[in-house]
Structure 1
């Protein structure tokens, strides 16, 4: 119902059915025909790619694993008829309560049975008609009841091993998120109203976008999460001035121009992940950790990893250590005259850095004086939902897939990461793009998120097996250059950063890894998640962070004694760095007569897939 004075929809009073009626039957019919035509184009793109062999369906192994997991779950509930009947009775009783409440509401009475409310932060049911309109309220309540009943089936299944329970929780969440009534035209009040208001024009636009995205993905759906046309690496992303000063088959080494007259004697080397690209630390001038570090007096060097293809299939962690980290250390020594550096590793880049440090400790190589880890796991016991995709059968399937091309398609990893937060990173964009027919907004972070990279076969297989599958790195069984490496050999000072809402490197997992190092560890817990918790400039004054001594046996116990502090952790890290060594020298400026390999951000980072 619309308030005549304000023109806004009212949230009180009885629901208005008029917005859900077709306004122009002829135009609506024409648009439905056009939408079907566009949907046919999308289907043709999908079919053509498979007939030509250009696309394949990588979901076979995850689907098989899901069926295998659910078989274990159903075996428990169906093995005892009484147990199965009790579970069905609970669900049926809840449905009857919802039905009774719906009847009372239609009669103008108050609901008697308690109603289930969405979880805090769940934005799917914010439209007022989810609560005010009896039909949509019934759908919402039935969905929430069924979702929680399904989750309880997993939690209450006795005798289920923890890995299977973990997988079952994950797969149940994927299915229930996908089947939410908010994802379908006829069961989402906002979608239905917009379809009636536009006579179905939104569906025409949406199906056209669907066809475009399947074509862009060469037969796979490349879900667009932002308006990518507004961004370009080197133009309005990754714009901090610098030069490419060295290059190997795997990496470009970038040195950035100073912004101060004096700089810290020890240069700073950043080892980013090769999953996605380094410019997450240099998104724009206001949110660039690289630019901020330069302003604090660091001489910053960054490794920009290659976006690999079939030529790099045999490149493993030995190669990434030599052609990446060691190349960078040699380049820094040559260009600055300094032998020792401070190093930062982010995510899997940090895991590689930790492995390299363990090897360097064996070889009495002390070129890295301090190490900082951003959301880095070295003990994968509590590695979170990504472990769902890692068991012997699935790793074998990934190995076989990589043998064919020498690499894993970037879309495979991107899909896995999006599935960790499907409710936020998949379904809102499906609804917005293909049902509402709206272009997503420009957002630099989501542009970066979509700028995925391939994984070299040897590198990725080593990572999956030695970290996620067998946890060899934590157990001292992993090898680099034929030598078994042990994290306790690392005696240098370490700053270990976790983020409290991290779904990729859970804070619990990062904290557990702190006890494996042999030297002093400064553990810091930042607010927010894997990206926003790291890329949090002080000027924004967002979130908070906690500090405290490593020692308590769990993250929860550590938090009880930790000290909360407002804002960004960046100044806290800078103070820690200067505590290790605050000696400064004249700024290292570029020689204008030198022939550099290129301007920052270099060539490797611009290769898209």
Structure 2
């Protein structure tokens, strides 16, 4: 790839970040009695964990009516039930007679509740197989039917899976061989410890207190500890500039834009797996946005606030510190969606300050957004909006329950069994501590995100307007580097891949092993890692995800060195590190990294 001999960026007049003035999401005129309805719905929403009862009822009604008028499907399900019962009887008879018999039903790949060998012994194998047979039947019963809305089929399957998982034999102390054995070994001490853990967790849930970080996981000391300082702050974010670790650096700095659904330090965990620390060691000047954790007084923050007073304000600050240089912008998750919107707007307006755009686990098209779509329809969004209206934000625990429910087998029930019945303490990990460091979502912004992007999919439909004019992703001409992860249930990799449908620029696509967070944290030396990488030249014809996957060979190791090489190819030259410090004599850095916003609870 040719390097330009001159990387003088086209920059406009520096933008002075404005004071944020929250705007009520219910700005349209409403009758005064309307608030009574909202208050009632908000109270129901809190009790229901943000799940709309109407959406659930509608899904089951749709499923039941289509099944009722499908006698052929009813016969199929009857035969399936008979077949499953016969399989259970044959296996049970063989087991009781002491014969080797392969269990006819197997847990799903991600279900680890029955991995203990004692589940293969009688009578536990009978209970396990009975549960899996019932699960198999319901999977078939809630499969798509002709005329049935796919979202309703997915919802009925999901809700039935939640009900089955709640009553799984692994959750019942008298049916779980691990609990029985541990109770016998400790004389019941595990149940006493478990009761203590349950009480502790219930108190924390009711009081919404924030657990202090365990020893060895202190923010700024053990986590988020890459050296740097705050060089800019406004109402919305703090900007961290990391201290150089090499004598020379690439001329173009990197700006990271994390999602405000998470604390930024997922990208700066422990020193050994910090992506930020790695890039600084490779000779890059790195800046990081650390978002404020909004409270009810900032309920009116919009997506536009995050674009103007967030991304653009950060670019203005970097242009002052590193003048006349373009910037490599990297957006993660929702931060990547915001970056794509910002980059398209900048391209439309002739703002050429971006050297490249990197999107990590980011969706721009939400038609195939995976299991999260089960929680998005008009009724559901209205339900969430009413809950946010009453409290001013969507709290992270409310979001965390949604993400956990998608993989309830491991994220809810396995942990509950270990903690409450086996009496085990949660072993602290850096990513576990980060995951428990919760944040909030401003009411207006989250409503705009759910409606404009998830529900109406405006960005790729040519209906997403910025400053009154529609933007188009195909206007982005800067090189792009896009990373997706194989087992991501928040941003499925085929959905992330669709960026190639809506852009024409030079694009490198990486598919890496792992999930939404684990796949991104893929530092060199991480065991059992692999990735696939492909390049699409600017203006090349589109290839579908399955064809792309078939043609790409898995490469062992971390994708981070590939990213470093790509950044080097799209940079101009090596220079002395820029000065770090205040943007003007009147602005003094308030503190060293990681700053103050990251500590907000």
Assess same fold via TM > 0.5: yes
CA 1:110 to 1:369, structure 2 compared with 1: closer, same or farther past 3 Å?
Answer: closer
Instruction: Work out whether 1:488 is the aligned partner of 2:474.
Output: yes
Q: In the aligned structure 2, how far is the partner of 1:179 from the partner of 1:464?
A: 32
> What SS does the aligned partner of 2:569 have?
helix
- Measured after TM superposition, the shift of residue 381 of structure 1 is 1.3
Select 2:177's aligned residue among 183, 189, 196.
189
| 1:358 pairs with 2:344 | yes
Measured after TM superposition, the shift of residue 238 of structure 1 is 0.2
Per-residue deviation at 1:326? 1.3
More helix per residue: 1 or 2? 1
**In structure 2, what is the Cα distance between the partners aligned to 1:86 and 1:581?**
61
Q: Supply the RMSD in Å over aligned alpha carbons.
A: 2.4
More off after superposition, 249-258 vs 68-77: 68-77
The correspondence for 1:145, drawn from 133, 137, 140, is: 133
Superposition deviation, residue 163 in structure 1:
1.9
1:541–1:117 CA distance, 2 compared to 1 (3 A)? closer
Looking at structure 2, the residues matched to 549 and 341 of structure 1 have their Cα atoms a distance apart, in angstroms, of 22
Paired position in structure 1 for 2:161: 173
Aligned to 2:271: 285
Question: In structure 2, which of residues 121, 142, 153 is the aligned counterpart of residue 132 of structure 1?
Answer: 121
Shift in Å, 1:473: 0.8
Q: Distance in 1 between matches of 2:205 and 2:302?
A: 28
2: CA distance between counterparts of 1:444 and 1:344?
22
Per-residue CA deviations over 1:128-182 (Å, capped at 9, x if unaligned) read: 221122x211111111111111101122533212222232333333333333211
* Separation in 2, partners of 1:189, 1:468: 43
Counterpart of 1:298 in 2: which secondary structure?
A: coil
2:595 partner SS: coil
CA distance 1:373–1:348, shift in 2 (3 Å) = same
For residues 536 and 174 of structure 1, the distance between their equivalents in structure 2, rounded to whole angstroms, comes to: 31
* Equivalent position SS for 1:473: coil
217, 226, 245: which one aligns with 2:205: 217
Alpha-carbon distance, 1:82 to partner:
6.4
- C-alpha contact (below 8 Å) 1:99/1:138 kept by paired residues: no
8 Å contact kept, 1:257–1:589: no
Structure 1 residue 119 corresponds to structure 2 residue 100: no
What pairs with 1:513-524 in structure 2 (closer than 5 Å)? 513-524=499-510
Report how far residue 386 of structure 1 moved. Answer: 0.8
Distance 1:526 1:105, change over 3 A: closer
Q: How does 1:454-603 map to 2 (within 5 A)?
A: 454-540=440-526, 542-550=528-536, 551-590=541-580, 595-603=588-596
Displacement after TM superposition at 1:450 (Å): 1.4
Bigger CA drift: 159-168 or 585-594? 585-594
* Contact kept in structure 2, 1:541 and 1:566, CA below 8 Å: no
Shift of 1:366: 1.0
1:297 partnered with 2:271 = no
Which residue of structure 1 lines up, in the alignment, with residue 360 of structure 2?
Answer: 374
Pairing 1:420–2:406 present: yes
Deviation at 1:184, TM superposition (A): 1.6
| Distance in structure 1 (CA, Å) of the matches to 2:132 and 2:44 | 40
**How many angstroms apart in 2 are the aligned matches of 1:303 and 1:221?**
26
Measured at CA, do residues 426 and 236 of structure 1 come closer, stay the same or move farther in structure 2, by a change above 3 Å?
same
The CA deviation string for residues 548-601 of structure 1, in whole angstroms up to 9 with x for no partner, is 234454211111122432211111111111111241110124469993121111
Unaligned runs of 5+ in 2: 1-42
CA distance in 1, matches of 2:522, 2:324: 30
- Counterparts of 2:365 and 2:243 in 1: how far apart (Å)? 36
Aligned residue for 2:206, secondary structure, equals coil
Task: Tell whether the 8 Å contact from 1:266 to 1:338 is kept in structure 2 after alignment.
Answer: no
Q: How many residues align?
A: 552
Deviation at 1:121, TM superposition (A): 5.3
CA contact (8 A) 2:300 2:442 kept: yes
Which consecutive unaligned segments of at least 5 residues does structure 1 have?
Answer: 1-52
Compute the TM-score of the two structures, normalised by the length of structure 1.
0.86
Go from structure 1 to structure 2 and tell me whether the alpha carbon gap of 1:159 and 1:93 turns closer, same or farther (over 3 Å shift): same
Q: Does 1:607 align with 2:595?
A: no
Partners of 2:111 and 2:556 lie apart in 1 by 26
Aligned residues of 1:258 and 1:589 also touching (Cα < 8 A): no
CA distances 1:334-360 after superposition (whole Å, capped 9, x unpaired): 112234111100010000011011111
**Structure 1 pair 86–351 and aligned structure 2 pair: CA distance change class (3 A):** closer
- Go from structure 1 to structure 2 and tell me whether the alpha carbon gap of 1:63 and 1:220 turns closer, same or farther (over 3 Å shift): farther
CA distance in 2, matches of 1:307, 1:221: 15
Who is 1:208 aligned against? Answer: 196
Alignment of 1:8-407 (within 5 A): 56-59=46-49, 61-80=51-70, 83-84=73-74, 86-109=76-99, 111=101, 115-120=104-109, 122-133=111-122, 135-155=123-143, 157-218=145-206, 228=214, 230-407=216-393
8 Å Cα contact 1:214-1:220 kept in structure 2: no
In structure 2, the CA distance between the partners of 1:544 and 1:80, relative to structure 1 (3 Å rule), is closer
Following the alignment from structure 1 to structure 2, what is the Cα–Cα distance between the partners of residues 104 and 537? Answer: 48
> SS in structure 1 opposite 2:481?
strand
Q: What TM-score, normalized to structure 2?
A: 0.87
